[in-house]
Amino acid sequence: MEIYGYILLLQCFVCNCAIAFSEEPPVGRSDAFCGRILRAQTQGTRRDGYHEFRLRVEGDPETYQPGSTYRVVLLASSPAYFRGFTLIALKEGREGTAEGHYAGQFQIVEEDDTQFMTNCPPAVTESTPRRRTRIQVLWTAPPAGTGCVILKASIVQKRVIYFQEEGSLTVRLCEKEHVPGEATAPPPPQCCACGTAKYRLTFYGNWSEKIHPKDYPRRANHWSALIGASHTQGYVLWEYGGYASEGVRQVAELGSPIKMEEEIRQKYSHLFPHHLLEMLQSWDQEAQDSSCAVSSMTSPSSSPLNMRSAPSAEFSVDRARHLMSFLTMLGPSPDWNVGLSKEDLCTRECGWVQRLETDLVPWDAGTDGGVTYE
């Protein structure tokens, strides 16, 4: 599927269910560090259909950067669900019966859903046993020299434990090799432009059945309300390969900008005063033959592609807050969006970008599953 858009800029002025069904250790077998939970996993009942559950590292990397943090998501494809789970990260070839066998460190994101396991501190489990289709945690990769790491999940559903040594509930990540002489990315330059610049952003939809016929949805085609801001280098509204905040998730799945607006306002020190970038949602109209991803910042008189009623909004930037980010949901869809992240409007020549036109390509927020619009 290919969906495109563009942007123009014109300067105007300057309970541990996962172990509930484990067996008592056989006679003579040591109940070593985390031994009981590991036995519960390896002895879990299997049945056809376990592929309905998936353990995923955001971005699906094959390697990890030592010390970097990654989002790890455990998913159930509809109509499947799970009541309990256990998540561990082991050094490859280790059994997990000693503390030194574990790699990296998990971080709890949603306390209502996840907690560290009392009798196995490196493991993450559910806070309360209930139906769920998704949980997420953060995982900080171990230091250099650790080697490959195996992330494993077990699932509890109706007194059946699913566990895999390979497949959709196991992820293998190896340490990223350092290339001698490899240059590191230079720090972003400081903006040296003077005064304040004011821009108008106009969003142009260019999604239609004629242009993108594959799986084209038959109803409720729209763009959600657009939300964004101009901000400093130190603020991230969203970014490719990053972690989706709750605000991003709600835009991505529900098309609601309310939570993201709250998140933006909480970082007011990074924002241009009183300049929250907002546009109303746009619904598909036969006369416009539009419904996909196009956006633009331009003067009110400009109307590329002869698109009518394109929503627009004004915002300002200055030397400290010279970046602009925004986001809007492609609807209907599981969690697909278009937008810009940290677009720099300050030039190296100490001036302001006069005009910018950019294609917008959809991206997957990674907060929900699905391969079709609906």
Residues 241 and 323 in one domain: yes
pLDDT at 8: 40
Neighbour tally for 237: CB within 10 Å: 27
pLDDT at 12: 33
Q: Which structural domain range is residue 91 located in?
A: 31-175
Round to the nearest angstrom and report the end-to-end CA distance of the chain.
14
Q: Give the burial class of 155: count Cβ atoms within 10 A of its Cβ; 0-12 exposed, 13-18 middle, 19 or more buried.
A: buried
Give the number of C-alpha atoms closer than 13 A to the C-alpha of residue 68, restricted to the C-beta side.
17
Residues 150 and 201 in one domain: no
Residues 38 and 82 in one domain: yes
Residues 35 and 151 in one domain: yes
Give domain status of residue 183, yes or no: no
Q: Point out the domain boundary residue: 144, 175, 206.
A: 175
Residues 108 and 231 in one domain: no
pLDDT at 220: 65
* CATH number reported for the structural domain that contains residue 238 in this entry: 2.60.40.2130
Give domain status of residue 6, yes or no: no
* CATH number reported for the structural domain that contains residue 140 in this entry: 2.60.40.4060
- Compute the distance between CA of residue 216 and CA of residue 8 in angstroms, rounded to an integer: 27
Say whether 154 sits in a helix, a strand or coil.
strand
Q: Compute CA distances 343 → 59, 173, 206, 359, whole Å.
A: 22, 32, 21, 13
Give domain status of residue 182, yes or no: no
Say whether 42 sits in a helix, a strand or coil.
helix
pLDDT at 159: 64
Say whether 41 sits in a helix, a strand or coil.
helix
Residues 205 and 334 in one domain: yes
Under 8 Å CB-to-CB from 122, ≥6 apart: which residues?
A: 34, 88, 89, 99, 102, 105, 106, 116
Residues 210 and 75 in one domain: no
Residues 93 and 167 in one domain: yes
Total of domains in the chain: 2
Contact 173, 151 (CB under 8 A): yes
Please tell me the pTM assigned to this model.
Answer: 0.47
- Compute the distance between CA of residue 8 and CA of residue 224 in angstroms, rounded to an integer: 20
Give domain status of residue 370, yes or no: no
Under 8 Å CB-to-CB from 285, ≥6 apart: which residues?
A: 309
Give domain status of residue 292, yes or no: yes
Residues 358 and 223 in one domain: yes
pLDDT at 32: 57
Q: Where are the beta strands (DSSP E) in 105-214?
A: 105-108, 114-117, 120-126, 134-140, 149-157, 160-163, 170-175, 197-202
Residues 157 and 207 in one domain: no
Residues 215 and 257 in one domain: yes
Residues 119 and 212 in one domain: no
pLDDT at 102: 93
pLDDT at 31: 46
User: Over its length of 374 residues, how does the chain's per-residue pLDDT go in tens digits?
Assistant: 344 344 444 333 333 332 222 223 333 333 456 766 666 555 545 554 456 788 988 878 889 988 888 889 888 877 788 888 899 999 999 888 888 899 999 998 888 889 999 888 899 999 888 888 888 898 999 998 999 999 999 888 766 666 655 578 899 999 987 655 554 445 557 899 999 999 998 888 777 777 667 777 766 677 788 888 898 888 888 887 777 888 888 888 888 888 888 888 887 777 776 667 776 555 444 323 333 333 333 323 223 333 346 778 888 999 989 999 998 888 777 677 888 888 999 998 899 999 888 877 777 777 776 666 66
Give domain status of residue 22, yes or no: no
